[in-house]
Structure 1
Amino acid sequence: MTRRGLLLGGLAVCTSVAACGAQEREQVPVPYVPATPDPPAPPPVPVSARRVYSAARGSEVDLVVIAPEGVPIAGLPVCLALHGKGSNARGFADLGVPAMLSEVVDAGTPPFALVALDGAHYWVDVDGGDDPLRMLVDELPGWLADTELGAPAAALGISMGAFGALRYAREQRDMKAIAACSPALFVDWPDAEAREVFANESQWESHEPLRHTAELGRAEIGVWCGEDDPFAGAARKLVQATTPARAEIGPGEHDESYWTSAMPEILRFVGARLA
């Protein structure tokens, strides 16, 4: 073989190898990298709070909404939650109510939302310039509409809040449920007068739930109270006067320990009736 033929043959081999290498490179599959999916939407926040101005009270108040964790809030049935003396709307969160509501719903209670506001002096107008009851009746529905919620169809209250829940039911006669926990009610004027809330006996009588039990509408009533609670006697009178759907007067005092122990049952009571 001539030197020229040898060189041409080597060139042909190199060209063939290069072509094969290029072909192999072209045939190597590109690894598939799937598109990164969008992160899942976070679950609804179970507690929200905002400040609103109440013309009825002449001041700003907290409006707190508590929903079961992971449940969209729009359109849920609403239970009004009224706090006791010395507390405020955020007090229900401090008691652990958001977790309790989520737990009872996870266990089968139909979901609903709790709505709490700041109140005072037994949730009624006692001085002509601060009217929590008018706030609940006239202003709350508009605030709830902004949150895609309807008007309350149930109410629960602790201590002073139970007085307010029962008083509210006289204005809203189509309520489905009223839950009174450690209800701060007064069997006579000297007892009420000692609280230094009401201006006179006539004003107290106009609001006292024990004097107006026939005006509570169709709501099913539940009563919870500790035996060692100073309001236990008034709670028993409420039971006698209303024949409630549920009445639990057992061990306990007028304190947070009793309220937290009773609250899961109260939430189940309300949820079943709102459904």
Structure 2
Amino acid sequence: MPVTRRRLLQSLGIAAGVAGLGAGGVALVDAEVLPGRSVLNHRLGRCDARPPDAPRAPAPPPVTGSFHSAARRRQVGFAISYPPGHAPGARLPVCLALHGYAADAVTAVTAAGYPEFLAGDGSRSRRGVRRAELESSDGLPHGVAPFALAAPDGGNGYWHPHAGDDPLGMLVDEFLPLLADRGLRADRVAVAGWSMGGYGALVAALTHPARFRAVVANSPAIFRSYADAKRVNAGAFDSPEEWARHDVTARAREFAGLPVRIAIGAADPFTRAVRTLRDRLPDPDVVQISTGCHDNDFWRSVAPDQVRAISAALAD
């Protein structure tokens, strides 16, 4: 359906004083001078991300629990999603899942549909598959090896250490040993995150460069300055010094050789900052920018390829 001027004004709810909104007005909305950018993006189809034609199947509900975290000084919930045909105690590699702001562990393992795509790609019949068996004669993947998706509650502190709360230390020093105690392969680990968790995945990669076989950052919530971060989320960083220590853009050259891939929608509010990061990375091609916004639709649209990439990285 064409976007008429009247329909656009109604959708945006802009006052009568800007009833002359035309191409220039749309530009002002895009530049966030006028309100309504999110509605504009949806109306213009900028958020119309759709998953590719990939098989999907129902996945078992995640196993949940909690543990006391010394690093976070509190009880922490967790969720583990096992692929079909596998139960607690299964000897599987692990992809850590880092949730976004105001979310939790269960959200992290379900929001992007990883379990459904993993189930649909035939993981339940491919136990013990090796990397070579994952490839067809032309080198392209034709199935995935199973892995568990595991997430802890990380709070709202952007996954880096704060005074009195260290979600990253909890993730590596406490949660991974917990997973090992449950039979999972804590020596074969990937990490994926969404929004705040996407930023967290990048911080985890820089902090533990030898730990992860794959690092996937979806719509990473990257800020361009400490002031920008403070304006959007006052609790993201405790001080300018803390911001500087964990500024992934300033440390972009440190990603050289790390198995990182970044995906973000072109209409995402963090895309400008991600483009700046991309331009400073040793390999800008690890960043994928495509149709989409900062939402589950976009994350599901890029999930199938990510599931296959993580699976291949974790396979023996």
Which bin holds the TM-score, normalised by the shorter protein?
0.7 to 0.9
Which residue in the other structure is 2:194 paired with?
A: 158
Which residue in the other structure is 2:11 paired with?
A: none
| Aligned positions of 1:99-118 closer than 5 A | 99-106=116-123, 108-118=143-153
TM-score (structure 2 length as normaliser): 0.67
1:62 aligns with 2:62: no
- Deviation (angstroms), 1:122: 0.3
Which residue in the other structure is 2:247 paired with?
A: 208
| Aligned positions of 1:1-275 closer than 5 A | 47-71=62-86, 74-95=90-111, 96-106=113-123, 108-120=143-155, 121-126=157-162, 128-151=163-186, 153-174=189-210, 175-194=212-231, 195-196=233-234, 197-216=236-255, 218-242=257-281, 243=283, 246-275=286-315
Amino acid at match of 1:187: R
Listed as ranges, the gaps of 5+ residues in structure 2 are 1-58, 124-141
- Whole-angstrom distance in 1 between the partners of 2:175 and 2:166: 13
Which structure: larger Rg? 1
- The change in CA–CA distance for 1:105 and 1:155 in structure 2 (over 3 A counts) is farther
- Deviation (angstroms), 1:183: 0.7
- The change in CA–CA distance for 1:63 and 1:56 in structure 2 (over 3 A counts) is same
How many pairs were matched up?
231
Q: Name the structure, 1 or 2, with higher relative contact order (CA <8 Å, separation 6+).
A: 2
What does the per-residue CA deviation read over 1:38-65, in whole Å, with 9 as the maximum and x for residues that have no partner?
A: xxxxxx9562111111111111112211
What does the per-residue CA deviation read over 1:215-263, in whole Å, with 9 as the maximum and x for residues that have no partner?
A: 3474311111011100011222232333156432111111122122222
- Deviation (angstroms), 1:77: 1.5
**RMSD over aligned Cα atoms:** 2.1
Listed as ranges, the gaps of 5+ residues in structure 1 are 1-43
- Whole-angstrom distance in 1 between the partners of 2:172 and 2:73: 15
